[in-house]
Amino acid sequence: MSTPTSPQPLDLPASTLSDADRQRLNSPLTISSGNKTVQLHSRVLQAPLSGVTDLVFRRLVRRYAPQSMMYTEMVHASGICSARKMDKVMDIDPDERPISIQLFDCRPDFMAEAAEKAVAEGADTIDINMGCPVNKITKKGGGSSLLRQPEVAEAIVQAVVDAVDIPVSVKTRIGWSDDEINILDFAQRLEDSGAAMLTIHGRTRSQGYNGPAKWNWIRKVKETVSVPVIANGDINSLDAAIACLSQTGADGVMCSRGTLGYPFLVGEIDHWLQTGERRPAPSLPEQLICARDHLQGLWDYKGQRGLFQARKHMTWYVKGFPGSADLRQQLSRMNSLEEGLALLDQADSLALAAIA
Ligand SMILES: Cc1cc2nc3c(=O)[nH]c(=O)nc-3n(C[C@H](O)[C@H](O)[C@H](O)COP(=O)(O)O)c2cc1C
């Protein structure tokens, strides 16, 4: 199943938040299971994105959203248990707080052991992936296939909750397909098993990443469970976040594809929730400075592998001015840091000319 990276533009009805909702969303969010509690001082979260939300990307997001919770890329529990490679997926800055480590697998004992290791790495919360639609993962019983095995999902949550003394959350979808939307029962089971927070991606597994997210189901989940509910899917702008929060009554939003090449989004939404003011959007040259820091950061952190990963990121940043398509082509093939930086210099000159 492909994972398109350009979100669909939404035709949003004008929405606003009531004063009561604004006040609620401007207060800390407490996530707790028993006496294990974490307080979030921002209701806007950066989603886990495999191949994207490494330490370098999270640092950039946090630059504009210092209080937001970030998630690592999803980590396979059995990979951690066999200690084959903790790799750089679980690497977190000692001062990056709050941080959630996301795990996936379908075996409760592996998940519990991996969660203990994640705590040792410094996780503030453990998130369990029950939403990934990729065949390779669902065929082995993980990700969104757990929506079809609620008893296994319950056993996983219980095992992880028992293993660690930090809150455990779940990120999932609304169901397997339009004919199998079972999120209300599923969410209740997760809560009863000890999940301290639920993030609901408002699509089915069959939808993959296509079609609009069905926020009406997120509202129903919010009306069903007592733990905090975070809305996910199509939060691509401040206006989308406002519309989603007002339509769902959710306790917060999680931004995903809207942050690709735009690590400013989480901070923009958070700033509005905290102050009621719209933070001016960064100019094209400011966005390109961020791209430069991203490229340099990936190079410093991962060397040549980071450079290859930077290719896709750079093509997400470089857009919106004449000549950008050609530069994107070249960036998608860059082979050295110097080449990448020179292409970004050209992008900067073209962007400046376009806004002069
Ligand atoms: C490239 C890519 C990687 C993703 N990796 C993860 C992941 O590791 N864990 C996870 O729970 N969801 C992952 N997702 C799903 C997103 O977190 C999110 O739920 C989904 O993109 C819907 O939000 P959006 O419509 O705002 O993009 C990924 C999505 C994309 C496009």
In this prediction the pTM is 0.95
Q: Distance between terminal CA atoms of the chain?
A: 43
133 neighbors 205 (Cβ within 8 angstroms): yes
Query: One-letter amino acid identity for 169?
Result: S
Query: Which pLDDT band, with edges at 50, 70 and 90, does 89 fall under?
Result: low
Query: Which pLDDT band, with edges at 50, 70 and 90, does 1 fall under?
Result: very low
Catalytic-residue membership of 132: yes
pLDDT, position 183: 98
pLDDT, position 94: 85
318 neighbors 348 (Cβ within 8 angstroms): no
CA of 356 to the centre of ligand 1 (A): 37
Query: Which pLDDT band, with edges at 50, 70 and 90, does 2 fall under?
Result: very low
Please give the residue that has the higher pLDDT: either 197 or 356: 197
The residue annotated as part of the active site, out of 132, 244, 255, 290, is 132
* CA pair distance 110, 104, nearest whole angstrom: 10
DSSP code, position 128: E
Question: In the chain, what's the furthest Cα-to-Cα distance?
Answer: 61
Query: Which pLDDT band, with edges at 50, 70 and 90, does 16 fall under?
Result: confident
pLDDT digits (tens, 9 = 90+) for 230-278: 999 999 999 999 999 999 999 999 999 999 999 999 999 999 999 999 9
Hey, what CATH class is 284-355 in? mainly alpha
pLDDT, position 351: 95
242 alpha carbon, distance to own chain's centre: 18
Per-residue pLDDT, averaged over 278-293, amounts to 96
Q: Is the pLDDT of residue 5 over 70?
A: no
The first and second tokens of residue 87, run together, are: 């790799």
Residue nearest to atom 15 of ligand 1 (CA): 49
Strand partners, 171: 129, 199
Crossing angle of the two packed helices 183-193 and 150-163, in degrees rounded to 10: 30
Ligand 1 site-directed mutation target among 183, 209, 238, 255, most atoms within 8 Å of CB: 209
* CA pair distance 228, 43, nearest whole angstrom: 10
**One-character DSSP codes across 302-336:** HTHHHHHHHHHHHHHHS-SSTTHHHHHHHHTT--S
Per-residue pLDDT, averaged over 93-109, amounts to 94
Q: How many CB atoms lie within 10 A of CB 85?
A: 10
pLDDT digits (tens, 9 = 90+) for 181-228: 999 999 999 999 999 999 999 999 999 999 999 999 999 999 999 999
**One-character DSSP codes across 268-315:** HHHHHHHHS-PPPPPPHHHHHHHHHHHHHHHHHHHTHHHHHHHHHHHH
pLDDT, position 114: 94
Q: What stretch(es) of the chain map to CATH 3.20.20.70?
A: 19-275
Q: Kindly tell me the sign of the dihedral angle through the C-alpha atoms of 232, 215, 274, 284.
A: positive
Query: Which pLDDT band, with edges at 50, 70 and 90, does 27 fall under?
Result: very high
Classify domain 19-275 at the CATH topology level.
TIM Barrel (3.20.20)
Per-residue pLDDT, averaged over 61-90, amounts to 82
CA of 275 to the centre of ligand 1 (A): 28
302 alpha carbon, distance to own chain's centre: 21
Average pLDDT across the chain, whole number = 93
Q: How many CB atoms lie within 10 A of CB 48?
A: 25
Q: Is the pLDDT of residue 73 over 80?
A: yes
Q: 125-130 and 168-175 as β-strands: parallel, antiparallel, unpaired?
A: parallel
Strand partners, 126: 101, 168
18 alpha carbon, distance to own chain's centre: 26
Q: Is the pLDDT of residue 347 over 90?
A: yes
User: Which amino acids bring their CB within 6 angstroms of ligand 1?
Assistant: 3, 5, 7, 47-52, 73-74, 102, 129, 131-132, 171, 201, 209, 213, 232-235, 256-258
pLDDT, position 8: 52
Q: What stretch(es) of the chain map to CATH 1.10.1200?
A: 284-355
Q: 229-232 and 197-204 as β-strands: parallel, antiparallel, unpaired?
A: parallel
